[in-house]
Structure 1
Amino acid sequence: MHHEHPLAYLIGIEGIALLRAFTGRHDRDFTAARLAEVRRLLDDESLAHAGVDVDPVGPVEGYRVWSRTYDQPGNGAFALDEPVVGELLDALPAGDALDAACGTGRYARMLADRGHRVVGVDSSPDMLARARTRVPEGRFMLGDLGRLPVGDAAVDLVTCGLALTHVPALGPVFAEFARVLRPGGRLVVADVHPESVGRGSIPSHRGPDGRARRVASYQHLVGDYLRAALPAGLQVRRCEEPLLPVRGEGAAAAEEPGPWELWPWSLAGLVPDAARAAGDGVPALLVWQFER
């Protein structure tokens, strides 16, 4: 269990904004405004006792609950990864494709629409049920990223979307990707950027008892992907870092922190100027293309 306190998050955002001012990105007035805002936040009694105890939960259990709402509008990551992944897929010939950690079949649908023969693998039966409905022409199997139920050199293309952040070690997973790919095959991976994980971009939900839960997530550095991929014989062909959406200048501050399920994004609305400065130019996702 860990403790999430809105004041801690807000002071952290102010601190990042102040560091950026310290290194020359903002002026004296901005710095003075941030320091005054920090004092106001510290004196705000409504925030003083608003912390929440949060339990970790494994991906299978977490996505069992999240599968019910996963495809509903509001997941901003979809608007960031799908254009880049779609562009990468458009440049590849149709063939045998594996969507690893396929979830509800977002990428599997993209693959099938481009003429690929699709196999999907996921550890969540609930996600797989939705993928089968979404991509009826695909073949879907229960399985783990560390031991894919696919033969050696069986596919021309592997995709994996927003899943590796839940894997503690990348090496075994990339070794599996390399094993199932044919020579010259491609791997397209989109994942939550370590900068974004470090700022709280971790799936959340309430358990049956109403307790707050977050799906166990890991902050893999950019170099961690290379240290996993290169020894497996996978060569980098492209890397993109879609940026976090940033509030427009002059946005009005929110009056309430919002429900815990919307943290930390609703919290940022309490300090829009600091949040905009802290988030400017920060990547949200990491998208790779590798070749076997």
Structure 2
Amino acid sequence: MTYEHPLAYVLGLEGMALMRAFTGEHGREFVEERIAEIRALLADESLAEAGVEVARVDTVEGYRIWSRTYDGPNSTFDYDEPLVHAIIDGLPAGVALDAACGTGRFAAALAERGHRVIGVDSSPDMLALARERVPEGDFRLGDLRGLPVPDDTADLVVCSLALTHAPSLDPVLAEFARVLRPGGHVVIADIHPAGVARGVVPNLRLPDGRPARVATYHHPIGDYVRAALRAGLRVRRCEEPAMQAPAPPVPRATPPDGPTAPGPWELWPWVLVELAPEAARAAVEGVPAIVVWHFQLAP
């Protein structure tokens, strides 16, 4: 169980913006505006008791609920798909494992490029959708830490938006290396650790209506490199595309001079930026949205 408070999130954005100002990215007027805004937020009684207790659920339960709406709209796909497609377009067709395949969006892309596709996921609900999407694929129920795939089977492993749910990267990267043939490739896309630290974590409602988030872990960039090296993988490429400019502010639920409305919990943290839009823009400007890795096993 975690405790989420909109005021805590917005004050965090203010602090991040002020730290960037402290290092010279913004001037005196910006700093004074942020301090005045913080005082106003702290004085806003409508935010004082807006905290929410949020359950933490595992991936099987979380993706069972999320499977119905996972494919859209999902803005993260705009970041990972172009880079992952660009990498796999440069690789020869063979046997490709879509690890944590979800609804099969990358399995479909791999099949279109001539690969024989194996998909593994721990969610039966996501696998059912993947089988419908890619009927020629071989989809198996399994865990990333113990893939139901023999040694030296795959020429390519693709894994997207999944390793942030793994408590440790070492057993997962070791499994990827185990199932690869010599010289095989691994392509990983993940929410950037800077995003995880800002609360970019899947949210959903439990059957009884309680708010919940899928268990997610913060893995610094160095953790990926160390786990890959220990598994015998070498880095071929790393990309960290920056976040796009924030969308236009969502209109407040009340007039600007009235009480502040933090918006529905389902849209946290995205709608919370409207409580301090300038601070939010300063806090996330140039910050990576995702990280994409290309590793290769020694021949």
TM interval, short-chain normalised:
over 0.9
Give 1:253 shift. 6.5
Secondary structure of the equivalent of 1:76? coil
Paired position in structure 1 for 2:258:
none
Give 1:272 shift. 1.1
Give 1:246 shift. 2.3
Give 1:258 shift. 1.5
Secondary structure of the equivalent of 2:176? helix
Paired position in structure 1 for 2:257:
none
Paired position in structure 1 for 2:120:
121
Flag the 1:252–1:145 CA change in 2: closer, same or farther, 3 A: closer
Alignment of 1:50-129 (within 5 A): 50-73=50-73, 75-129=74-128
Give unmatched runs, 5+ long, in structure 2: 253-260
Give 1:184 shift. 0.8
Does the 8 Å contact 2:60/2:123 carry over to 1?
A: yes
Alignment of 1:1-292 (within 5 A): 1-73=1-73, 75-247=74-246, 251-252=248-249, 254-255=251-252, 256-292=261-297
Aligned length: 289
Q: What amino acid is the match of 1:56? A: R
Does the 8 Å contact 2:250/2:271 carry over to 1?
A: no
Give 1:226 shift. 1.0
Flag the 1:36–1:253 CA change in 2: closer, same or farther, 3 A: farther
Give 1:252 shift. 4.7
Flag the 1:159–1:38 CA change in 2: closer, same or farther, 3 A: same
Q: What amino acid is the match of 2:130? A: A
Identity of aligned residues (%): 65
Give unmatched runs, 5+ long, in structure 1: none
TM-score (norm. length: structure 2): 0.95
Q: What amino acid is the match of 2:132? A: T
TM-score (norm. length: structure 1): 0.97
Does the 8 Å contact 1:103/1:124 carry over to 2?
A: yes
Q: What amino acid is the match of 1:272? A: P
> Deviation per CA, 1:199-255, whole angstroms, max 9, x where unpaired?
00000111111111010000001010111110111000000012122226xx55642
CA distance in 2, matches of 1:45, 1:254: 20
Q: What amino acid is the match of 2:59? A: P
CA distance in 2, matches of 1:127, 1:187: 22
> Deviation per CA, 1:117-151, whole angstroms, max 9, x where unpaired?
10000000000000001111111000110111111
CA distance in 2, matches of 1:155, 1:3: 42
Secondary structure of the equivalent of 1:71? coil
CA distance in 2, matches of 1:254, 1:172: 46
CA distance in 1, matches of 2:277, 2:76: 21
> Deviation per CA, 1:10-55, whole angstroms, max 9, x where unpaired?
0000000000001000011111111111111111111111110001
Does the 8 Å contact 2:97/2:158 carry over to 1?
A: yes
Flag the 1:252–1:131 CA change in 2: closer, same or farther, 3 A: closer
Name the stretch that deviates more: 253-262 or 214-223.
Answer: 253-262
> Deviation per CA, 1:89-144, whole angstroms, max 9, x where unpaired?
11111110000000000110111111111000000000000000111111100011
Give 1:190 shift. 0.4
